Amino acid sequence: MQNILIQFGGNLSMITAIAAGGAVGAVMRYGVFMVTPLLLGAAFPYNTIIVNIVGSFFMGVFVTYFNIAQNLSPELKAFLTLGLLGGFTTFSAFTLDFLKMWESEQMVYAMLYVLTSVIFSILAIFGGVIVAKTLIA
| 92-134 residue pLDDT tens | 778 889 999 999 999 999 999 999 999 999 999 999 999 999 9
Residues spanned by the domain of 68:
2-136
Domain count, the chain: 1
- Quick one: pLDDT at residue 93? 79
2: pLDDT strictly greater than 60: no
What pTM value is reported for the model?
Answer: 0.80
- Of 48, 78, 58, the closest CA to residue 125 belongs to 58
pLDDT digits (tens, 9 = 90+) for 73-92: 999 999 999 999 999 997 87
